[in-house]
Amino acid sequence: MVSDPAHRRATYEDILAAPKHVVAEIVRGSLSLLPRPRPIHARAASRLGMGLAGFDGLDGDGPGGWVILDEPELHLHAEILVPDLAGWRRDRMPEIPADLAYFEVAPDWVCEVLSPSTERLDRSEKTDIYAEHGVAQLWLVNPELQTLEIFRLDGATYRRITVCSGSVRVRAEPFDEIEFELGSLWAR
């Protein structure tokens, strides 16, 4: 037990007490408070979510088979993370839990939209935590550089599969059944 209050392990109460204008996470025992996404960041995440809607659709307009959510709160043992987007295969999560404000089942896919204030954390500790919890696919989107990096879990770490940039048309695992225009994420 750490006696110095400045170095105590953060708790869920710290998350609940965080100001509403920040994204609060617990990463490696420390409370992380980051600013809400800037418009360029939020737009890229929203447009990507719309582009993948056919995987989450129950109306038969797409491949289906997934639950895809914006900014879900993940409780992965002691870690509490909030990725920009996350997806679970429906065979692992057939229904969204109605009685919880968070998810204890690790997703199958996570997407982090990078910004200058989040990139270091997203590329390091959070990536390591996702790997430790078996998240099979990781996408990193950088709206400023207009890139999409696609990673696959390979043992205990991620292996980068490809980097797409600009306005190319993309078919990317695990959603390679449909193609989307990457440039739509950056269009103003």
pLDDT score, position 53:
86
Alpha-carbon Rg for the chain, nearest whole angstrom, is 17
pLDDT score, position 1:
30
What is the extent of the structural domain holding 128?
37-185
Within-domain flag for 3: no
Within-domain flag for 159: yes
Domain count, the chain: 1
Look up residue 7 and give its DSSP letter: G
Predicted confidence (pLDDT) per residue in 108-131, tens digit: 999 999 999 999 999 999 999 999
For 12-21, 76-85, 88-97, 109-118, which range has the lowest pLDDT when averaged over its residues?
88-97
- How many Å apart are CA 5 and CA 49, to the nearest integer? 40
Within-domain flag for 137: yes
- 125-145 average pLDDT score: 98
Percent of the chain at pLDDT > 90 equals 78
Within-domain flag for 20: no
Within-domain flag for 70: yes
Predicted confidence (pLDDT) per residue in 98-107, tens digit: 888 899 999 9
- 2-21 average pLDDT score: 80
Predicted confidence (pLDDT) per residue in 52-84, tens digit: 988 887 655 667 889 999 999 999 999 999 999
Within-domain flag for 31: no
Residue 97: band (very low, low, confident or very high) from pLDDT cuts 50, 70, 90: confident
- Among 173, 180, 182, residue whose Cα is nearest residue 154: 173
Residue 6 φ/ψ, nearest 5 degrees:
-70, -20
Amino acid at 52: L
Within-domain flag for 138: yes
pLDDT score, position 62:
65
pLDDT score, position 79:
97
Residues sharing a CB contact under 8 Å with residue 108, sequence separation 6 or more, in sequence order:
66, 87, 88, 89, 92, 135, 136, 137, 174
Residue 125 φ/ψ, nearest 5 degrees:
-55, -45
Is pLDDT of 2 > 70? no
Within-domain flag for 29: no
Supply the CATH number for residue 77's domain.
Answer: 3.90.1570.10
